[in-house]
Amino acid sequence: MDLVFLAFAGILGWLAWTSFREARDGHARWTRGLAATPVTVAELVAMAGSVRDELDAPAFRQVVSLSGTVEPLDDEARPAPLTGVDSVWFRFVEEALSRGRDDREERQVVAEQRRERPFRLTDGGAEVVVDPRDARTEIPVAERRRVTDDGGGREFGLFRLVDPTVARERTEWRIEPGSRLTVVGEARLSGDRVRLSAAAGHPLTLTVAERGDHLEHSRRRSGTAMRRAVAFGCGAVVALLVAVLS
């Protein structure tokens, strides 16, 4: 048995499995988006009000897809760490970049910061509250900066420990007040307000794309990942056969 081909088969098998998982997750997002009821903010608020008047608040649960303008809730918007731009939601990541074996670039997350406080989604005078905690976000990178490291190290008497870091990359994603956002998730009544948040079996998705574009992107991404999984899987089978027969 050829160990090289056997190892190659294992690598291709792992790539096939990760691609299949990506395809499965993309398909799940696509089907959830299709199942979500497309509504306006005003329509959702009216639906919730009718249920509250006729039944009670806990009776209202509806998986919806809606778009609107982002506004702060009670707290003011906070400056994002990298740019200082006022935001209702942000994510900041700093990675240390170094050269590994074969001169390949290696990355390690050394700092991460998030702001995940509820905000309002408004449209035509109506509003709902969005709780972004544990949400799946499809937000483009707002800012990325790479800073060259000085290549310093630490002194220990006669010895010096060299830091392999060659650069640091800082990346920021953010949602600013006044921006347009599409939200897909479960809506409930919380007091007098309609609130969308992540729930068991109903993930919350935040995306800058409109509903149709979001569905098409999820469908294409799932299809691409599935084709990649099939290709890797076929390669793994061929490599395994060669390893067994050689």
pLDDT (tens digit per residue) in 68-90: 999 998 877 899 999 999 999 99
Cα separation, 88 vs 68, whole angstroms: 14
Tens of pLDDT, residues 116-132: 999 999 998 899 999 99
Helix (H) or strand (E) holding 150: none
Backbone φ and ψ for 40, nearest 5 degrees, come out as -90, 165
Sorting pLDDT into bands at 50, 70 and 90, what band is 31?
Answer: low
Rounded alpha-carbon distances, angstroms, from residue 72 to 131, 139, 140, 246: 12, 18, 20, 65
- Predicted model pTM: 0.70
Tens of pLDDT, residues 163-182: 566 788 999 999 999 999 99
List Cβ neighbours of 246 (8 Å cut-off, separation of 6 or more): 1, 2, 5
Model pLDDT, residue 195:
92
Cα separation, 107 vs 109, whole angstroms: 7
Model pLDDT, residue 174:
95
Model pLDDT, residue 158:
47
